[in-house]
Amino acid sequence: MSQGKPVFSAAEEKTLKGWTTRFPYPAMGLIEALRQVQEWRRHIGPAEESRLAEMFEVPLRRVHEVATFFPLFTQKPTGRRRIGICRGLSCELGGSDKAVRALKEKLGVGPGETTPDGEWSFEEMECLGACEMAPAAIVNEELVGAASEETARRIVSDPGKDFRTKTPVGPEPKEHRLLTKHFGEPGLETLEGYRKVGGYETLKKAIEMGPAKIAEEVKKSNLRGLGGAGFPTGMKWGTVPAKEKMPGPRYVVVNSDESEPGCFKDRVLIENCPHGLIEGLLIASLVIGSEDSFIFIRGEYKRQHLILEKALAEAEKAGLMGRNILGSGLSCAIRLTRGAGAYISGLDTALLETMEGKKAWPRQPPPFPTTHGLMNRPTVVNNVETLMMLPPLLGIGGEAFAAMGTAKCGGTAVYSISGHVEKPGVYEFPMGTPLRRIIEAAGGVRGGRKLKAVIPGGASTPVLTASEIDVAMDFDSLRGVGSFLGAGGIMVLDETVNMALAARNIERFLAHESCGQCTPCREGSEWTVRILERILEGQGCPEDIPNLNRTGENITGKVICALGDTVGSVTRAMMKKFPEDFKAGVAAANEKAGAAA
Amino acid sequence: MSDKKMISLTIDGKPVSVPEGTLVIEAARQLGIKIPHYCYHRGLGNPGNCRICACEVEGAPKPIQMSCRTIAAEGMKIHTSSPNARRFQSSSLEFHLDNHPLDCPVCDQSGECKLQDYYMQYGLYESAVREDKLHKGKRIPIGPHVMLDQERCILCTRCTRFTAEVTKTHELGVFGRGHREVVDLAPGRALDNAYSGNVVDICPVGALTDRDFRFKVRVWYLDETESICPGCSRGCSIYVHTNTKRPWHNEGRRVARLKPRENPEVNGFWICDEGRYGHKNLDEHRLGRVMRLKPRPEDLSWSAVLDEVAREIKEGSAAKGAEGLAVVASGMLSNEDWASFNELFVRTLKIKRFLFGPEPDQIGAEDDFLRRKEKAPNLRGGLELGFGREIKSLSWDELAKSIESGQTWGLYVVERDPARAWGTARAKALLERLDFLSFQSPFKGEAGDWAHYRLPATAYVEEEGHFTNFEGKAQKYSKALEPLGLARPDWQIFDDLRSRFMEGEGSSGRREKAGALA
Amino acid sequence: MAMTVRPVERPARTLKEQIFLWEVWIGLVVTFRHLFVNLARHVLRALGLNVEPGAVTIQYPEDPAVLGKRARTRHRLLKREDGSPRCTSCLLCETICPAKCIHITPEESPDPRIEKRAKTFDIDIGLCIFCGDCVEACPVDAIHMDANNVELSSYTREDMIWTMPELLGDVPKLPRALRATRPASGVS
């Protein structure tokens, strides 16, 4: 129904139509097309949605669902520049509220508002994957660095300037560093620099070994999924049906959505060594038999997206990616595709939904993605770090890799560490290293203060007390003490932290990111936040703590995905280990009531 | 291959055997065990997002599972009412109620609301919410027949799945994310497809309510009767809900609403809006008095009027010829009616000229789902007796010409308004030329004003009978209400009239059990 | 099954009982006892002695009737702070009423947060059994039986029907025959 002026100009139509053919299925380009419209028009209106629905041959309802689900898309026009201050736990502890106040003064508008001249929109955002630069600031999807009050003002007066600092990668000495061994060497992010340190040699070796042998090595190596689930990679690959059983396309998707508060290692890995990821992905694609592989990267990693684009172009030009790789007859095209600001897109089935151009509601296996994944084809979703382990793994051999770690977790892991430490950054240690050691490598607690609590694997993992930091940092040991390794995002909290505040921060994040599909998470997360806010205001009632416990138990394990499980377990763990911080909020109310009576 | 392997399992201690691939919630239903559920619907799939159908699976690593997402396995031991299962059914209910508005006094769903019902069965806890609840849109008319209240919505997605998978019209979606999600129309759309009323049935709560039924009467005042929709030749199974207990409600109408009745062979779980909202006429412009209108208006008894009608027919046939008498009927007659109709007009009176074809006044919209273009339920019932086969229907044009030419002097009209086919002016002109016009119908219509004799018949809700649908399936409908005034079923009128022509037979005919004419 | 027969002894009436005059005498004794005891109490109290007060007859209707604190009297519909009736026409009182004497018709309320209100609300006091179930059933505390009015007789059955404005107290209850205009809210 085109009446009157067409919605898009001829050139715009051409660009948008391009997205219908860029991917194997037209609807897969919908989110990129929406991105484009958001960029041009600074919002997505009903006319634009209608036209896109026609173009991509999907119902209008679906386009509207996607446009209202992801935080990147707005229904009302934003400013030309969108500045966001992260309110993740490390950033809140790092002073994000001060940055917000400074920006409010400088811009004259508050969070969620746009300046009258239409130049700036100001938002509080969830974890941007830059916890070492707390409090992190982002402008139009490009990280700009740590926003102290001063820097926040300068970002506005000097837009386009990059205030980022180089993220420390450790530890020194490098003896146990497998993946990050060459980080810091000049030009590592270029093809030439990567080749200089032996890059793509393993790819050649892998082509000769063939899929079966590689799979064997990976199984032997005890490599576990390093995106959070910790599932043995070899076993996951093994569930993909053989080509004879299920002929047709199959895919490998790199999960570079990294939105867990406390985790930023994937970002650092891509910044330092994009070709490492490409090589790992090519090896995995070989094993699975995927000729079309994808890197799904979160929208807020725009700079990293450009780095990967450049590296992919280099690789393709050198015949390392695309058709007939290194003359072997094997083909694998790698394409980049971006998320649109939702944490839940980092969950494998929700990621696939996002890639298919739908809102990111997780699926309920069975069937599992390895048999029915992207567009119902066998799909393996692996984390960035997991795939980047493949070249070094094959380099030293599966057995040696396994020997570096613990009995069931092979090799090393790259841990992000942030919060109240001297040198927040990324540190690679063998699996099973005591947590204490990693904190020491990061310079210990900032300012020589006393340690109160450590969150070992990212905001969704149950907290540990200061006396529990001798635990070995691997999947099984942490499970043994009632927590998880997750994606290894360590957050260090010193004695100044009120754990009720930390709980509220994380639950608020979860309530904001809950996809809303299932009732316990959707209602329970928001309710938990409200109770915690009352407690923080000193308005808690005696039933609040038992209610939080009871609700938490009623959510964990009864929901569709792990985000929901987390909603129920985070606060319960904090209340169990730091009850005084919560009781204080209840006591204050009772005092007031007592005084008034 | 229809033979699936059978699986045996135990639910609440009772054994049951089901085909491979059956869901646990279905296996339980077979045993008559009810597990609470919102998002699951046998016609709309099992997304498993409400999380209330929790059951306990003995010995499983994760004992609490959702019974609508769990496929029955050999030897499974399921407990649907163990303390653990009840705890999670109750806690899921609590989450649904956390932000639910306290609308029961003003909500039409009250009395048939699954939040109320499950609370009484599985809840009965004290509310722990101390905060203000979330506010969303209220009283939003989203279509001609449906009202939306976003606060009451529990986001089970039944309605969005209906518009996506059943009508494939995609008017509704769940927009936003997390606790701010709402069900709403896609921008610029309205819920105006031909089956929009079904979303009200499937909505377990009062989020989607019927605008036609809004505030008319409380559901606990209603009686329910099984019936068949007379809207078209599909013959969808329905329930008729009537209010006779509190006649000052519902504007004095007896029929409150029609709802679909599950019938896997005919209409599945659904009915169309035309059928659903086609009940208003049952309480309007009804005939209840037995009357002669011409030459002198007078209320008569049945016996008196049938004597007069019989005499008119005998005298008129003798004077002007029996071929001048024609009969207008339609597929509105039940199988029982058709049988008596046949006995009276074909076998006894030897009438040769009939008009019963649906064109043009009983032809309407058709689609590839439920609606059929013949808007009469039982043409097929007449077909069995030869109507439409050996006996051909006149067209309205042919009948009009024969009246104008004088060939037709008398007309017996049954359950049809010639004014709808000919238009008011032409119908009046034609019908006033007749020497004899007997009008037998539940509804006055326009022609009822121009008849010589007006015989009130019962509507389908006031009698018991059978309609045969277009596929040949004979289906029973039951009596929901008492007849109005002196109205009688059509077959009874025909039988009584026939007895006036049978010398030596009993005064009133016996009704033949003609139910299952197939 | 064999029937069990149990002979019951009926004592024969004595002469005293048959004549009945004794009972008459006892009745008179009781009545006059009340008279003299009350008289004595009134006299002694008048003289200043603190004995139990004597019984007093209330001269009703000149003196008002004494009702218990929780006595159920005529119904009263309550209003919100803004003056609108609290009743949301939920029909719970109409449903629970054992005498079916409440007749309500609902309508839309202009306020979307309230949605529903009563168009008409009639109680037939002639049918009401004054059980108080309607007050118990109401979820919004819209109806009380505390108008403290038990003088509800009328000359016609029709006049025993109280309409909403009358129950709200907005309009005085007058016999229908005396009313010049119809009341604002619908009549049943």
Nearest beta carbon to residue A364 from set B69, B96, B186: B69
* Chain B residues interacting with chain A (CB cutoff of 8 angstroms): 47-52, 54, 62, 64, 69, 87-88, 91-92, 94-96, 98-99, 128-131, 134, 154-155, 160, 163-164, 170-181, 186-189
Name the DSSP class of B15. E
Cβ of B173 within 8 Å of Cβ of A62? The answer is yes
Tens digits of per-residue pLDDT, A411-466? 999 999 999 999 999 999 999 999 999 999 999 999 999 999 999 999 999 999 99
B253 reaches C (C-beta below 8 A): no
**What is the pLDDT at residue A327?**
86
Residue C187 lies in a domain: no
3-state secondary structure chain C: CCCCCCCCCCCCCCHHHHHCHHHHHHHHHHHHHHHHHHHHHHHHHHCCCCCCCCCCCCCCCCCCCCCCCCCCCCCEECECCCCCECCCCCCHHHHHCCCCCEEEEEEECCCCCCCEEEEEEEEECCCCCCCCHHHHHCCCCCEECCCCCCCCCCCCCHHHEECHHHHHCCCCCCCHHHCCCCCCCCCC
Residue C71 lies in a domain: no
- Which residues in chain B are closer than 8 Å to C112, comparing Cβ atoms? 138-139
Chain A residue whose CA is closest to B178: A516
Question: Which residues between 365 and 424 in chain A have a beta carbon less than 8 angstroms from any beta carbon of chain B?
Answer: none
Residue C186 lies in a domain: no
CB atoms within 10 A of CB A465: 13
Number of domains making up chain C: 2
Nearest beta carbon to residue B175 from set A59, A64, A531: A64
User: Using CA of residue B92, residue B93, residue B99, residue B100, what is the dihedral sign?
Assistant: positive
Give me the domain span that covers residue C132.
Answer: 76-171
**CA-closest candidate to residue A501, choices A89, A81, A37:** A89
Check contact A-C (3+ Cβ pairs < 8 Å): no
**Minimal C-alpha gap between B240 and chain C (Å):** 21
Contact B313, B305 (CB under 8 A): no
Cβ of C115 within 8 Å of Cβ of B103? The answer is yes
Please compute Rg for chain C using Cα positions: 27
pTM: 0.92
Mutate one of A558, A559, A560, A565 to test the B interface: name it (highest B CB count within 10 A). A558
Tens digits of per-residue pLDDT, A109-167? 999 999 999 999 999 999 999 999 999 999 999 999 999 999 999 999 998 899 999 99
- Which residues in chain B are closer than 8 Å to A546, comparing Cβ atoms? none
Q: What is the mean pLDDT of residues A176-193?
A: 93
B211 reaches C (C-beta below 8 A): no
* Chain C residues interacting with chain B (CB cutoff of 8 angstroms): 88-92, 94-95, 103, 105-108, 112-116, 139-140, 188
Cβ of C112 within 8 Å of Cβ of B139? The answer is yes
Residue C21 lies in a domain: yes
- The half-sphere exposure of C130 on its side-chain side, counting CA atoms within 13 A, is 13
User: Using CA of residue A234, residue A235, residue A237, residue A242, what is the dihedral sign?
Assistant: positive
Residues C120 and C161 occupy one common structural domain: yes
Cβ of B249 within 8 Å of Cβ of C139? The answer is no
Residue C57 lies in a domain: no
- Which residues in chain B are closer than 8 Å to C106, comparing Cβ atoms? 215
Instruction: pLDDT band for A594, please (50, 70, 90 cuts).
Output: low
A443: left (phi over 0), alpha (psi -120 to 50) or beta: left
Tens digits of per-residue pLDDT, A475-504? 999 999 999 999 999 999 999 999 999 999
Rounded to whole angstroms, the Cα distance separating B210 from B196 reads 10
Q: What is the mean pLDDT of chain C?
A: 90
Tens digits of per-residue pLDDT, A258-290? 999 999 999 999 999 999 999 999 999 999 999
CATH of residue C85's domain is 3.30.70.3270
**CA-closest candidate to residue A418, choices A59, A46, A136:** A136
B106 reaches C (C-beta below 8 A): yes
**What is the pLDDT at residue C186?**
39
Residues C24 and C96 occupy one common structural domain: no
**What is the pLDDT at residue C116?**
95
B252 reaches C (C-beta below 8 A): no
First to last CA, chain B: 30
3-state secondary structure B314-346: HHHHHHHCHHHEEEECCCCCCHHHHHHHHHHHH
Q: Is cis: bond before C175, omega within 30 of 0?
A: no
Instruction: pLDDT band for A317, please (50, 70, 90 cuts).
Output: very high
Residue C38 lies in a domain: yes
Rounded to whole angstroms, the Cα distance separating B152 from B157 reads 13
Cβ of C139 within 8 Å of Cβ of B104? The answer is yes
Residues C104 and C30 occupy one common structural domain: no
Tens digits of per-residue pLDDT, A10-55? 999 999 999 999 999 999 999 999 999 999 999 999 999 999 999 9
**Minimal C-alpha gap between B92 and chain A (Å):** 6
Nearest beta carbon to residue C140 from set B105, B110, B220: B105
More confident residue, C93 or C63: C93
**CA-closest candidate to residue A228, choices A562, A542, A498, A495:** A562
Instruction: pLDDT band for C1, please (50, 70, 90 cuts).
Output: low
Other chains touching A, judged by 3 or more CB pairs under 8 Å: B
Cβ of A522 within 8 Å of Cβ of B181? The answer is yes
Residues C23 and C80 occupy one common structural domain: no
Nearest beta carbon to residue B51 from set A513, A551, A559: A559
Residues C88 and C150 occupy one common structural domain: yes
Instruction: pLDDT band for B2, please (50, 70, 90 cuts).
Output: low
Check contact B-A (3+ Cβ pairs < 8 Å): yes
Q: Which amino acid is at B330?
A: S
Q: What is the mean pLDDT of residues C125-140?
A: 96
Nearest beta carbon to residue B179 from set A65, A342, A523: A523
**CA-closest candidate to residue A280, choices A226, A244, A242:** A226
Other chains touching B, judged by 3 or more CB pairs under 8 Å: A, C
Residues C37 and C83 occupy one common structural domain: no
Instruction: pLDDT band for A174, please (50, 70, 90 cuts).
Output: confident
Chain A residue whose CA is closest to B46: A364
Q: What is the mean pLDDT of residues B400-419?
A: 95
A323 reaches B (C-beta below 8 A): no
Residues present in chain B in total: 518
**What is the pLDDT at residue B459?**
95
**What is the pLDDT at residue C188?**
29
Residues C93 and C134 occupy one common structural domain: yes
Q: What is the mean pLDDT of residues A370-386?
A: 96
Q: What is the mean pLDDT of residues B164-180?
A: 96
Rounded to whole angstroms, the Cα distance separating C101 from C75 reads 12
Cβ of B215 within 8 Å of Cβ of C107? The answer is yes
Tens digits of per-residue pLDDT, B140-163? 999 999 999 999 999 999 999 999
**What is the pLDDT at residue A273?**
96
Contact B171, B189 (CB under 8 A): yes
Rounded to whole angstroms, the Cα distance separating C171 from C167 reads 8
Tens digits of per-residue pLDDT, B236-250? 999 999 999 999 999
CATH of domain B6-98: 3.10.20.740
Cβ of B64 within 8 Å of Cβ of A557? The answer is yes
**Percentage with pLDDT > 70 across chain B:** 97
- Fold agreement (B6-98, B291-499): no
- A572 is written with which tokens? 């319960």
- Which residues in chain C are closer than 8 Å to B113, comparing Cβ atoms? none
Nearest beta carbon to residue C113 from set B104, B138, B246: B138
**Minimal C-alpha gap between C10 and chain B (Å):** 53
Contact A555, A568 (CB under 8 A): yes
**What is the pLDDT at residue A170?**
86
**What is the pLDDT at residue A1?**
46
A123 reaches B (C-beta below 8 A): no
Rounded to whole angstroms, the Cα distance separating B356 from C59 reads 81
Instruction: pLDDT band for A232, please (50, 70, 90 cuts).
Output: very high
Name the DSSP class of A374. G
Other chains touching C, judged by 3 or more CB pairs under 8 Å: B
Q: Which amino acid is at B405?
A: S
pLDDT at A102 over 80: yes
Burial classification of residue B453, based on how many CB atoms lie within 10 Å of its CB (0-12 exposed, 13-18 middle, 19 or more buried): buried
**What is the pLDDT at residue A554?**
95
**Percentage with pLDDT > 70 across chain C:** 93
Tens digits of per-residue pLDDT, B182-223? 999 999 999 999 999 999 999 999 999 999 999 999 999 999
Which residues, 6 or more positions from B201, have their beta carbon under 8 angstroms from its beta carbon?
B259, B260, B269
User: Using CA of residue A411, residue A413, residue A414, residue A418, what is the dihedral sign?
Assistant: negative
Question: Which residues between 508 and 527 in chain A have a beta carbon less than 8 angstroms from any beta carbon of chain B?
Answer: 511-520, 522-527
Nearest beta carbon to residue B50 from set A46, A342, A519: A519
Q: What is the mean pLDDT of chain A?
A: 94
Name the DSSP class of A402. H
Task: Average the pLDDT over each of A538-547, B285-294, B332-341, C61-70 and give the range with the smallest value.
Answer: C61-70
**What is the pLDDT at residue C185?**
46
- Which residues in chain A are closer than 8 Å to B54, comparing Cβ atoms? 558
Residue C6 lies in a domain: no
CATH architecture for residues B291-499:
3-Layer(aba) Sandwich (3.40)
Chain B residue whose CA is closest to A68: B176
Tens digits of per-residue pLDDT, B460-479? 999 999 999 999 999 999 99
Instruction: pLDDT band for B510, please (50, 70, 90 cuts).
Output: very low
Domains of chain B, residue spans: 6-98, 291-499
- Which residues in chain B are closer than 8 Å to A512, comparing Cβ atoms? 178
**What is the pLDDT at residue C69?**
87
Task: Report ipTM (2 d.p.).
Answer: 0.93
- Which residues in chain A are closer than 8 Å to B163, comparing Cβ atoms? 61
Tens digits of per-residue pLDDT, A359-371? 999 999 889 999 9
